[in-house]
Chains A and B, each alone.
Chain A
Amino acid sequence: MTVNQVQDEIINEFSLLDGDMEMTVFYIMELGQRLSEMSETDKTEANLVKGCQSKVWLVAEVTDGNVLFKADSNTAITKGLVSLLIRIFNNQTPETILGSDLYFMHRIGMERFIGTQRSNGFASMIKQMKLYALAFKTQLAKA
């Protein structure tokens, strides 16, 4: 699926929650619970995303030209939020990630359920993922 197809899928899922805040929060946490596990050895200080109020660990690798992210967080809601990004960016090429335009946050009304601090944290996660993509792009170009 393309980045935008996944985004549209997410928008569709959230629209079924009908704006109910409690159901939305529970759903986000449920998505987090489904995220594939990250190895404990990856949960290092160096892998922490800077600028997040909660702890968010993020690692990435590139296989056959596609990026694979793994993440975890000490809070369930943040884990759910990062899982949305992973769903969008996983198995995409570095170029696609770098050139992507994320619009799903606005469409699902994310600003309603993540405050200013979490919004900044969420922006940091996206930035960190794009930095990984940039590094892989450079690496692949050299190879």
Chain B
Amino acid sequence: MDTILADIEKIRAQFPVLQQHVNGKPLIYFDNAATNQKPKQVIDALINYYQGYNANIHRGIHTLAEKATKAFETTRHSMQRFINAKHAEEIIFTRGVTESINLVASSYGRAFLNEGDEVIISGLEHHSNIVPWQIICEEKKAKLKIIPVTEIGEIDLNGYQKLLSTKTKIVATNHASNSLGTINPVKEIIRLAHEVGAVVLIDGAQAAAHLEIDVLSLDCDFYCISSHKMYGPTGAGILYGKKEWLEKMPPYMGGGEMIKDVTFAKTTYNDLPYKFEAGTPNIADVIALNEAINFIQSISKEVIAEHEQSLLNYATKKLSEIPSVKFIGTSKEKVAVLSFVIEGIHPFDVGQMLDARGIAVRTGHHCTQPLMERFGIEGTVRASFSIYNTTHEIDELAEAVKRIVNFMKP
């Protein structure tokens, strides 16, 4: 236990933002599912790029352009290995999961969805995996079907199977729920979808920093990741797509970089991955993302998952001892997300009272309003843990929650 603690202290020391006080108390950062903090090596990579070799990539022939291009493409190859993709050109850089999903909904949807077709999503989805599908379904007169969610916050696999048919063209679900933490049986979901000939998109926003991702073994058609939820900078992310689909899909945005030849009569498009990377990309953040991958790999996902699971178990135990705390989402398979409500106390109040003690949590509907409606609540308090969190911090959270309950219900 002591060695783990010593290791965690070493890891914490790599995060400048964690070395501060908020409202007179040491910062306890439990809003990791919204965005996690950045280690110094990621911040340094950003600074080094702007101070040392800022240049536009791919077309320049000068030294800086070459250096920047090489660093940018290095991240693509790292990401390929990180998720075990077959080809580097299957990694498309985007602004994040939201853009990745919009890209697929718009491009794949435009090319392959027809009137009367069906798209299936789950009731656990973030708005970013709902709204793009609503938009394309409305445009194409396709139907959007929702997989029901069980009382403990899991996807109802029987309900899913009932929705599947030859009309199903796309299935989209998250790997892990941002609101509840539930890890979905994506391999099974993908297998069943493929049986009816549908393609599957997995929103991996909450999985990337916590779970092993192997797109070949999963056999998913599309997988989306946000850099900022895996210790990388904001504004960068990837869309993984099977080459066979990406080649058949029309471009999402037009502009520089994505073309081969342009005349006023006709434009021919560039090859993958550039066909989907119009305009100057987010060079600095993509380059720094490579350091986020290095950071994760230096600790290993296994160690990260083990530590986070122990924090989740500890927090679940500590908070369950407080009367009137009720957990929302109690699946056995969860990433380190603990969503709860306190009877008679609004989540906003809890969030603000925790902030007064330097504890950062997320409160509200977490961009999953339909899911909140499913549980008949307006929102929850969500504490989500990361590699740099400690059991001591969870003790502080439990103590603070107790004070809130005692104050509100003396």
Instruction: Determine which of A24, A26, A53 lies in contact with B348 in the assembled complex, contact meaning CB atoms within 8 Å.
Output: A53
Is the CB of B407 closer than 8 A to any CB of chain A? yes
Is the CB of A100 closer than 8 A to any CB of chain B? no
The answer to whether A26 touches B349, judged by C-beta atoms less than 8 angstroms apart, is no
**Closest chain A residue to B358, Cβ basis:** A21
How many A residues are at the interface, by size bracket?
A: 10 to 19
Q: Which of B366-396 contact A (CB under 8 A)?
A: 378
The interface centre, meaning the residue of A21, A26, A54, A113 with most chain B CB atoms within 10 A of its CB, is A21
Is the CB of A138 closer than 8 A to any CB of chain B? no
CA–CA, A76 and B352, complex, Å: 10
The answer to whether A29 touches B24, judged by C-beta atoms less than 8 angstroms apart, is no
Please report the number of residue pairs spanning A and B whose Cβ atoms sit closer than 8 angstroms: 37
Is the CB of A20 closer than 8 A to any CB of chain B? yes
The answer to whether A76 touches B24, judged by C-beta atoms less than 8 angstroms apart, is no
Instruction: Determine which of A21, A26, A74, A113 lies in contact with B24 in the assembled complex, contact meaning CB atoms within 8 Å.
Output: A21
The answer to whether A113 touches B356, judged by C-beta atoms less than 8 angstroms apart, is yes
Instruction: Determine which of B346, B353, B408 lies in contact with A74 in the assembled complex, contact meaning CB atoms within 8 Å.
Output: B346
The answer to whether A76 touches B345, judged by C-beta atoms less than 8 angstroms apart, is yes
Is the CB of B23 closer than 8 A to any CB of chain A? yes
Q: What 0/1 readout, one digit per residue, does chain B (329-353) give for beta carbons within 8 Å of chain A?
A: 0000000000000000110110011
The answer to whether B357 touches A77, judged by C-beta atoms less than 8 angstroms apart, is no
Q: What 0/1 readout, one digit per residue, does chain A (68-82) give for beta carbons within 8 Å of chain B?
A: 000000111110000
How many B residues are at the interface, by size bracket?
A: 10 to 19
Q: Hey, which chain B residues are within 8 Å of A22, CB to CB?
A: 23, 353, 356-357
Q: Hey, which chain A residues are within 8 Å of B352, CB to CB?
A: 25, 77, 113
The answer to whether B24 touches A20, judged by C-beta atoms less than 8 angstroms apart, is yes
CA–CA, A89 and B23, complex, Å: 31
Q: Which of A20-44 contact B (CB under 8 A)?
A: 20-22, 24-26, 29
CA–CA, A21 and B357, complex, Å: 8
Q: Hey, which chain A residues are within 8 Å of B23, CB to CB?
A: 21-22
Q: Hey, which chain A residues are within 8 Å of B355, CB to CB?
A: 21
- Taking A25-B353, A26-B353, A54-B348 as known contacts, 12 extra A-B pairs with beta carbons closer than 8 A to each other, sorted by chain A number, are A21-B24, A21-B355, A22-B23, A22-B353, A24-B356, A25-B356, A29-B349, A29-B407, A29-B408, A74-B378, A75-B349, A113-B356
Can you list 27 A-B pairs, Cβ within 8 angstroms, ordered by A? A21-B23, A21-B24, A21-B355, A21-B356, A22-B23, A22-B356, A22-B357, A24-B356, A25-B352, A25-B353, A26-B353, A29-B349, A29-B407, A29-B408, A54-B346, A54-B348, A74-B378, A75-B346, A75-B348, A75-B349, A76-B345, A76-B346, A76-B349, A76-B408, A77-B348, A77-B352, A113-B356
